[in-house]
A and B are shown apart, each in its own frame.
Chain A
Amino acid sequence: MLKKRIVATLVVKQDVVVQSIGFSRYLPVGRAEISAEFLNRWGIDEIVLIDIDARTSGRSIDIDLVHRVSENVFVPLTVAGGISSSQEAKKLISNGADRVMINTAAFLRPELISELAEIFGNQAVVVSIDVKRDSNSSPWVFTHCGTKNTGLSPVEWARQVSEYGAGEILLTSIDRDGTKTGYDCPLIRNVSDTVTVPIIACGGVGHPKHFIEGITKGHASAVAAGNFFHFTEHSSITTKAFLRQHNVDIRLDTYATYEGITFQRNGRIDKWPEDYLNRLRFEYIADEVI
């Protein structure tokens, strides 16, 4: 059976991975290739690399950055940032990207979605949709890094982009971004129940249980987080161990599995019992060699 995916988004600004809050505040984290390497080592299912400065600087995401990040990543890498032509997409795919993602460019010229799908197949084309709710709590699609209201509802725009040939949609709640209060599940669910392509939920994760909600309440096929994975060692593995314990069907085949671990209420792992730790001191654990 197809597993649910845990996806990490790496938001890059001025060549640095950043923590993003509400699409307006950015705190530095580190180098993209290091983050990606650790995420890969810790069993992440997919990585999305987004250059949020690209479009406003009049370029698409840097090919060299993509190449460097992809060298130690053996999971799919989706790249985004100012991509507006199939030539740009071709160069990125030849240099380590597996899929391309477009946001504002899709709104300005939706035919681009079909053009990319015709050459690369719709499975290689992801459309990113950012959403903000107004004072009546009605959701609206925003482009240009969350600054321009398109006047379209997320359900309507999602329907259109999938008709144009998008293979997948990354749906982000700008309001929830960086708040650690969980996904906007009603938003995710409304879009997911409308289209037949997979939806990746994004925006708001602060606790492993939020991933579960994205799947069970939001009906997402994949659950993404940016900030959440950066600050704890083995974050994606412990998250998956938590999800496994709650019967979510995900892949967990890293060498370390954290099976049997217990979790605190805040989602962090408990310390192993003392006698277990004492025994571990004398156990030889060989490296995995392929």
Chain B
Amino acid sequence: MKKPKLLIVDYGIGNQGSVANALLKLDCTFKLSGKREDILRADSYIFPGVGAFGAVMENILASDILSTLEHQVLEKKKPILGVCLGMQVFSEDSDELGFHKGLGWISGHVRKLPMRKGFRIPHVGWNEIKIIQKKPLFVRTEKHSNFYFDHSYALYCEQSTIAATCWHGSIVIAAVQKENIYGVQFHPEKSQSSGLKLYRSFSSMMS
């Protein structure tokens, strides 16, 4: 059987290097690239993102890969995992530093986390998640697992799309899942063994 090809999408901004390190640690076969041919050839994708929403969207649109990637994801239904901003840009829009349109792959909006007494913004540090949909991302995740979060804005979407939540004065969506589109608000590549287990689960999906 052919080995499934996992691609970390490089569109110019983000911590692709850290995600690559994590996959190297797991001995996963993967490629890190922003080239059209590699997007066409891949069987699944990890879509990292670090930065402000507007800057990230600007980079995606300027990189020329969007139509190719969209076809693979929306038509060919290849699995994609968005990480942090990578997940947020799947939404319809965000009002971080101005109003910006997202990719619209998931219905939902990115808005600033509400200020609550005793809870600081940005939501930064290790937080425990509540798993709502165990398969496929959380099959290796133990109960009461902590993941590393670092964000001031969060995705708000339909109940049916929510795969995990956490608490920071209000409910924060930690992971989403809609058919072949997956996303996590936290950084698995920065969440030590909990995060590595999640990447193992995603990369093992296709085999």
Whether the Cβ atoms of A121 and B121 lie closer than 8 Å is no
B128 within 8 Å of A (CB atoms): yes
From B13, B52, B148, A76 is in contact (CB under 8 Å) with B148
Known: A119-B55, A198-B122. A98 touches B85 (CB 8 A): no
Interface residues as binary, A179-200 with B (CB distance below 8 Å gives 1, 0 otherwise): 0000000000000000011100
Known: A70-B17, A251-B146. A120 touches B126 (CB 8 A): no
**Bound CA–CA A290/B191 (angstroms):** 13
| B interface size (C-beta, 8 A) | 50
A274 within 8 Å of B (CB atoms): no
In the complex, chain B residues whose CB is within 8 Å of the CB of A124: 50-51, 150
From B51, B52, B197, A290 is in contact (CB under 8 Å) with B197
Whether the Cβ atoms of B50 and A2 lie closer than 8 Å is no
Whether the Cβ atoms of B17 and A197 lie closer than 8 Å is no
B190 within 8 Å of A (CB atoms): yes
In the complex, chain B residues whose CB is within 8 Å of the CB of A168: 122, 124
**Bound CA–CA A72/B194 (angstroms):** 15
Whether the Cβ atoms of A45 and B125 lie closer than 8 Å is yes
**Bound CA–CA A178/B193 (angstroms):** 32
**Bound CA–CA A3/B15 (angstroms):** 24
A167 within 8 Å of B (CB atoms): yes
A5 within 8 Å of B (CB atoms): yes
In the complex, chain B residues whose CB is within 8 Å of the CB of A221: 120, 124-125
B70 to chain A, nearest CB (A): 24
Interface residues as binary, A153-172 with B (CB distance below 8 Å gives 1, 0 otherwise): 00000000000000110000
A117 within 8 Å of B (CB atoms): yes
Whether the Cβ atoms of B52 and A121 lie closer than 8 Å is yes
In the complex, chain B residues whose CB is within 8 Å of the CB of A96: 15, 17-18, 21
Tell me which residues from 36 to 65 in chain A have a Cβ below 8 Å from any Cβ of chain B.
40, 43, 45
B26 within 8 Å of A (CB atoms): yes
**Bound CA–CA A5/B146 (angstroms):** 12
From A43, A117, A118, A222, B192 is in contact (CB under 8 Å) with A43
Known: A121-B52, A123-B152, A251-B146. A198 touches B126 (CB 8 A): no
A258 within 8 Å of B (CB atoms): no
Whether the Cβ atoms of B125 and A222 lie closer than 8 Å is yes
Interface residues as binary, A3-33 with B (CB distance below 8 Å gives 1, 0 otherwise): 1110000000000000000000000000000
Whether the Cβ atoms of A74 and B190 lie closer than 8 Å is yes
**Bound CA–CA A72/B190 (angstroms):** 11
9 contacts between A and B (CB under 8 A): A67-B17, A74-B191, A76-B187, A98-B150, A118-B55, A118-B97, A122-B122, A198-B120, A253-B193
